[in-house]
Amino acid sequence: MDTRSGSQCSVAPEAVLNNGDLVLPPRISRVNGWSLPLHYFQVVTWAVFLGLSSATFGIFIPLLPHVWKYIAYVVTGGIFFFHLVVHLIASCIDPADFNVRLMKNYSQPMPIFDRSKHAHVIQNQFCHLCKVTVNKKTKHCISCNKCVSGFDHHCKWINNCVGSRNYWFFFSTVASATAGMLCLITILLYILVQYFVDPGVLRTDPNYEDVKNTNTWLLFLPLFPVQVQTLIVVIIGMVVLLLDLLGLVQLGQLLIFHIYLKAKKLTTFEYLIKTRKEESSKHQAARKDPCTQMEEGFLQQGDGALGSSAQGDKAKNSLLTFKCLYHHSTPLPSDKSSSEQEADDEPSPSSLRAKVKSFLLIYKSPCHFCTSVNPDGDSSAKEADVVRSLSSLG
């Protein structure tokens, strides 16, 4: 058994359940977002980007008046080009820890983690799978099966881990995609308004001089003009607008979330660890109430665990008695004077605690409903659960 001491932070590259599916770590560590197999989210991302780019520069911007057309080409084109560059960089960078990149041979299969030898993959800043010393913020990603420096999360959309080496490229990818979609929505809304107000404004291109039918529109100007009917343009515009709005909502939420994380100086991993600890603390505080423990015990054990229905009824009635003892230790107000009330035979706090203790001892054996369970668990195990969940985060 491993006897290393010190801080522990790890994710075991073992088979885990993700939304009911069994997830196995790859035998060969992934280098970057282009390592096979490609994720279908990644394929969808690039397909949408190419589709929106073609529609923007081939259909909608050519419909704008000359002045706005050139402004749209420069501004929107610059944003789309910047997005393409940072998106490629975020996908191509290997976010692994420096020592992993220095010493690791990506062509060799990774060993299977043996939990009988080591409690965690990373112990005392040493990874038992990568066989290297790593820094404090390094985590072993189950999806990439390697240690990632400054681990934030594993992004399916770029098919790569997001760590300290490529985080700002990832952030720029999200920000530029959001800005590009805002530009496209602005262009689409302008075209929609002008179509109902003054359609002639949208037909200023010289190629329209030979088009006599006002229901005929030209796509892919000025290089490859294709004549289509108004309905086709409307359908394309509605589909693009719908995709744009859906993407803007998702990307906007993600961008705001990461701006919040940067303001708090947290990574996604640290934020989820903090959130789970707070939820666990609240749950643990709620379980300190003996009545809550007893009621949860009844729900967990059921009448069948009590041996018979009669015994179950007896235990439930006793629970009501216990709750009366616990919650009604203070006598109800009366018309007696204070001196008369002091003379009354009231149960003292010590005697009440003694009664409660006796009650618990009597009923603990048959139904075990007063046995508390630690919901918090090992902190390293919780971190492992978080990293596993982040391995499927987009």
Domain boundaries, the chain: 16-280+381-390, 288-328+349-371
Which segments in the chain show pLDDT lower than 70? 1-23, 287-394
- Residue 312 pLDDT: 55
pLDDT at position 380, please?
A: 55
pLDDT of residue 294: 52
pLDDT, tens digit (0-9, with 9 covering 90-100), for 63-99: 999 889 999 999 999 999 999 999 999 999 999 999 9
Cβ atoms within 10 Å of 135's Cβ, excluding its own? 13
Q: Which of 245, 244, 267 is nearest to 257 (CA)?
A: 267
pLDDT at 108: 86
For residue 116, what pLDDT is reported?
80
Residue 184 and residue 188: Cα distance in Å, rounded? 6
114 three-state secondary structure: coil
- 31-62 tens-digit pLDDT: 999 999 999 999 999 999 999 999 999 999 99
pTM score of the predicted model: 0.70
| Predicted pLDDT of residue 394 | 55
Query: Virtual CA dihedral for 289, 290, 296, 299, nearest 10 degrees?
Result: -150
Write out the DSSP string of 243-310. HHHHHHHHHHHHHHHHHHHHHHT--HHHHHHHHHHHHHHHHHHHTTSHHHHHHHHHHHHTGGGGSSHH
Question: How big is the CA angle at 292 (ends 290 and 296), to the nearest 5 degrees?
Answer: 120
Other Cβ atoms within 10 Å of 266 Cβ, number: 15
**Residue among 9, 141, 147, 155 flagged as catalytic:** 155
CB contact set of 238 (below 8 Å; sequence gap of 6+) = none
| Alpha-carbon gap, residue 246 to 37, rounded angstroms | 27
Let me know: does 82 contact 76? Beta carbons within 8 Å.
no
- List all residues 6 or more positions away from 221 whose beta carbon is below 8 Å from its beta carbon: 58, 62, 205, 207
Asked if 155 is an active-site residue, the reply is yes
Measure the CA–CA gap between 184 and 240, rounded to whole angstroms: 9
Please report the pLDDT score of residue 8 as a whole number: 44
Q: How many CB atoms are closer than 10 A to CB 219?
A: 19
Q: Please tell me whether residue 155 adopts helix, strand or coil conformation.
A: strand
Alpha carbon distance, N-terminus to C-terminus of the chain: 36
pLDDT at 59: 94
Q: How far apart are CA 292 and CA 129, in angstroms?
A: 43
Please tell me the predicted confidence (pLDDT) of residue 288.
63
DSSP letter for each residue of 19-85 = TTEEE---SS---STTSSSPPHHHHHHHHHHHHHHHHIIIIIGGGS-HHHHHHHHHHHHHHHHHHHH
Phi-psi category of 124—alpha, beta or left, where left has phi over 0 and alpha has psi -120 to 50? left
